[in-house]
Structure 1
Amino acid sequence: MNYFLIYRDLAFSRMQLIKFSIPFCFLILCLSIITNISLVEAQIRKNSVVVTPVSEEMYMFAGKGGNIGVSIGNDGVLLIDSKSKQTIDNIVSSINNISDNKPIKFVINTHWHHDHVGGNENLNKNGTMVVAHENVRERMTNKQFVDFLNREFLPYPENALPIITYKKNFTLYFNDDRIDIHHIPHSHTDGDSIIYFNKNNIIHTGDIFINGRYPFIDHSSGGSIGGIISGIEKIIKISNNDTKIIPGHGELTDREKLKDYLVMLNDIVQQVQKMMLNGNDLDTIIKSNITSKYDSLYSDTFINSQDFLGFVFKDLINNKSHPHIS
C-alpha cells in the first residue's frame, strides 16, 4: 500500500475542503449580517414616524398606530394620544428635537384602544398627566374583549391610566390656546372625544373619523353608527373652511372631506335600513353592492365594505335609540 499517495490525497482533500469552507463561511456570515440589517431596518420602518407641521405651534405625528397631535409652546408640550409602547420613545425624541426639550405636560387620550394609549406608561414616568373621558379610564382599568378583533386586552398598569377625567366636555387652557374636549357618546367607542384647538383652528377627531377608510365601530366598547354620524356632524358644526383636521388615522385633511364622509355614511345607512325593512338579511345586503361607488375611497384591508355593512346591520337590528337610525 502506498501510504504516501493516500496521505497526499487526504491532504489535497483537506486543502480543497478548507478552500471551499472559507468562502462558504464568509458567505453565511455576510447573509447573516444582511438579514440582521434587514430586520433592524424593518423594525425602524415599523416604529418610524412622519412629522407634518399643521401650524406654527402644532404638528401631526403619523406612522404605525393612531395619529398624534402635538402642541408646543411656552407652557410646554401637550399630546393628543400616545400611540404604542414600542413607538413612544422615538416620538418623544423627535418632539424633544423640535421643542428644545420642553416637558410634555399633558396627553389627552381620544379613546381607550391600545394604538392610542399604549405610550401613556412611558410618558407618565417623566411626569406627563393623562386626560381622558371617564369611560376610557374604566375600560383601561378592566379586562376588555373586542369581538371584531377576536382579541382580549388586559388591564393597563396604574401609571398608564388617566388621572384627570370628565363626564361630558372639558376645557384646558394651554400654550395660549383654548382646547375644547367634546365627548361624543357611543361613537367609535363609548369614551371617544374630539379635541378642538380654537386659536390654531385645528381639530383632532380620534377614530370617529378615519381619512380614507370606513369607520371601525367597536360594538364591544359601546360604539354605534349613530354616534359616529353625530360626531362627524359635530366636527362640521364647530369647524370652518380653514380648519385643519387631524384624523385618527390617515392624512391631514379639511372640512370638505368630512362633509363627503357624512354623505357616504348617511347614504349607506339609509340604503341598509330600506333593504332591512323589505326583509333582506345581511348576506343579501352585502351582495347588493350598495357601497360600490364608495369602495375605492374607503374600503381597505382592515375595514372593508362587508365589515362596515355588518356594523350598520347590527346597529339597526339592535334598534339603537339614535335619530339617524330610528
Structure 2
Amino acid sequence: MGEAAGRDSVRRPRAVGSGHNGRSPVTTGPLEGDDSESRSGSVSEPMEGAMLRMVCLGVVTAVGVLATAAANVAQEPAEEPRANLVLHEVAHNLYMLANDPAEQGMRSGGNTAIFLTASGVTLVDTKIYGYGQDILAEIAKITPKPVTTIINTHTHYDHSGGNVEFSDSVNIVVHENTAAQMSRETCEPVTNCDAFKGDNAKYLPQTTFADRMTLFGGPDAIDLYYFGRGHTDGDTWIVFRGARTLHTGDMFARKGLPFLDVANGNGSALEFGETLRKAVAGIPDVDIIIPGHNDETLVWDDLVNYSTFYNGIVDAAKAGQAAGQSVEDVVGGYSVPVQLRDFAAEPGRLQSVVQYVFDGQ
C-alpha cells in the first residue's frame, strides 16, 4: 500500500532533562580513580614515643575515613544520560514518540503512540520505568486532555515499564496472555512482572481480549488483533483505523531480525513467521507502520517484505536441517536476497533464529 503523505510533517527533537522524581535509569560499577589500596603508612624518618603513635594513628584514621567514603560513593549508582525523545506527527491526532536517531540503543524503550480521542488520550506502550513523566510532558504540548487508556503491545519492561507512572484510573488493555505474564509470581526482569507487585498490583490490566477487540468508534476506532505467538505469546497488533496506521510492537521492531523471548515469554521462532503471514493477510487498510523500536515510521510494504525476509530464513533453516547441515552451515551459507537488502541479518540474531528452528521452537 502507498505511504500516506505528510506523515513526518512534524518532528520536534527535545533534550529531556535528567533526574525528575529520582527516576532516572541508573547503572552501577566500580568507583574510578580509587587508589586507596596503594597508599602507604610508612614513616621515612625515625620518630619517638607519642609523636610516632599520634602520626600513625592519624594516618590510619585518615586512610580509614577515605576508604569508607570511597566505599559509600561506590555504592551510589551513577546516572545515565537521559534519552532525547522525538515527537513525530503521524496523522491527524496521532503521534509517535521515539528515540533520537542520533543516539544509538534503546535508552527510553520502545516507540509510544499518542492518540487523541474525544474522551481523552490513548497510549500504546509506555517505555521503560522513569519516562512516564516525559510522555506526559510531550502530551501537554499537544493537548490538555488526560490519559484515559494504555494499550501494551506485550509485557516487556521497555514497553510497559512506564504504566505505573500514570493515574491508576487509566484503563490498561492487553492480550490475555500478556495479562498472565504481567501477573506471574516470578519472572526474568525482561518480563516486568515484578513491577506490578504490592501496591502496584492496581496497574495490572483491567481489560483483556483473546483474538480481536475494537475500542471506541467513529474516527476514534482502534482495532486490536492477535494472530499467535512470536516475539512473546501475547503480541498485540494495534490499528488506528481512521489514520490507516498500525503499531506492530516488537513483532516488527525494525528492519532486522527479532529478539525472540522463547525462554521466558513463551515466544516462538517458528510461529513468529506464521504470525507475520497472518497479520499481512488479516489486517486491512493500513498505509503507515509504527514499529516497535525503529526511529522513523515505516510503510505497509515494509511489513510485507519483512514477512518474506523472516520466513525465508526459517525456510532455509528447515531445508538445511533436512539436508543434514548444522546450524553453523546454515548461518554461514545464508545471505540476504538482493531484493530485501534493506533488512539486516545480524550474525548473532541469525544464529539464534536458526538454532530455535532446529530445536523445533
TM bucket normalised to smaller: 0.7 to 0.9
Counterpart position of 1:225: 269
Task: Give yes or no for contact 2:273–2:314 (8 Å, CA) kept in 1.
Answer: no
Q: 2:289 aligns with which of 217, 230, 245?
A: 245
Counterpart position of 1:61: 97
Counterpart position of 2:164: 121
Q: CA deviation at 1:153?
A: 6.2
Q: CA deviation at 1:107?
A: 0.3
State the SS of the aligned residue for 1:195.
strand
Q: Deviations over 1:142-167 (max 9, x none)?
A: 22237xx8x99635230331111122
Relative to the length of structure 1, the TM-score reads 0.75
Q: CA deviation at 1:291?
A: 4.5
Relative to the length of structure 2, the TM-score reads 0.68
Q: Deviations over 1:56-106 (max 9, x none)?
A: 11000112311111111321100011111211111111101211x201000
Whole-angstrom CA distance in 1 between matches of 2:329 and 2:164: 46
Counterpart position of 2:196: 156
Structure having the higher helix fraction is 1
State the SS of the aligned residue for 1:187.
coil
Counterpart position of 1:264: 309
Q: Which runs of 5+ in 2 are unaligned?
A: 1-77, 100-107
Task: Give yes or no for contact 1:110–1:192 (8 Å, CA) kept in 2.
Answer: yes
Task: Give yes or no for contact 1:268–1:290 (8 Å, CA) kept in 2.
Answer: no
Q: CA deviation at 1:212?
A: 2.0
Q: CA deviation at 1:287?
A: 2.5
Alpha carbons of 1:49 and 1:152: their partners in 2 closer, same or farther (altered >3 Å)? closer
State the SS of the aligned residue for 1:215.
coil
Alpha carbons of 1:263 and 1:307: their partners in 2 closer, same or farther (altered >3 Å)? same
1:41-120 counterparts in 2 under 5 A?
43-44=81-82, 46=83, 48-63=84-99, 64-99=108-143, 101-120=144-163
Q: 1:285 aligns with which of 327, 330, 343?
A: 330
Q: CA deviation at 1:203?
A: 0.6
Whole-angstrom CA distance in 2 between matches of 1:124 and 1:136: 21
Whole-angstrom CA distance in 2 between matches of 1:252 and 1:53: 10
Task: Give yes or no for contact 2:183–2:196 (8 Å, CA) kept in 1.
Answer: yes
Q: CA deviation at 1:110?
A: 0.6
Q: Deviations over 1:181-229 (max 9, x none)?
A: 1113211100111011111111111110122221111112111233322
Task: Give yes or no for contact 2:246–2:289 (8 Å, CA) kept in 1.
Answer: yes
Alpha carbons of 1:152 and 1:170: their partners in 2 closer, same or farther (altered >3 Å)? closer
Counterpart position of 1:9: none
Q: Which runs of 5+ in 1 are unaligned?
A: 1-38, 321-326
Whole-angstrom CA distance in 2 between matches of 1:132 and 1:223: 16
Q: Deviations over 1:115-145 (max 9, x none)?
A: 00001111134x2111101211211122223
Counterpart position of 2:344: 298
Q: CA deviation at 1:232?
A: 2.5
State the SS of the aligned residue for 1:92.
helix
State the SS of the aligned residue for 1:82.
coil
Identity percentage of aligned residues: 27
Whole-angstrom CA distance in 2 between matches of 1:175 and 1:68: 22
State the SS of the aligned residue for 1:89.
helix
Residue 182 (structure 1) aligned with residue 237 (structure 2) = no
Q: Deviations over 1:24-53 (max 9, x none)?
A: xxxxxxxxxxxxxxx98x623x2x311100
Counterpart position of 1:196: 239
Whole-angstrom CA distance in 2 between matches of 1:81 and 1:232: 20
Task: Give yes or no for contact 1:239–1:255 (8 Å, CA) kept in 2.
Answer: no
Higher RCO (C-alpha 8 Å, min separation 6): 2
Q: Deviations over 1:253-272 (max 9, x none)?
A: 10111122122112211111
Whole-angstrom CA distance in 2 between matches of 1:69 and 1:239: 20
State the SS of the aligned residue for 1:297.
coil
Q: 1:213 aligns with which of 217, 234, 256?
A: 256
Counterpart position of 1:255: 300
The letter for the 1-side match of 2:322 is L
Moved more, 290-299 or 56-65: 290-299
State the SS of the aligned residue for 1:119.
helix
Alpha carbons of 1:230 and 1:312: their partners in 2 closer, same or farther (altered >3 Å)? same
The letter for the 1-side match of 2:124 is I
Whole-angstrom CA distance in 2 between matches of 1:112 and 1:58: 23
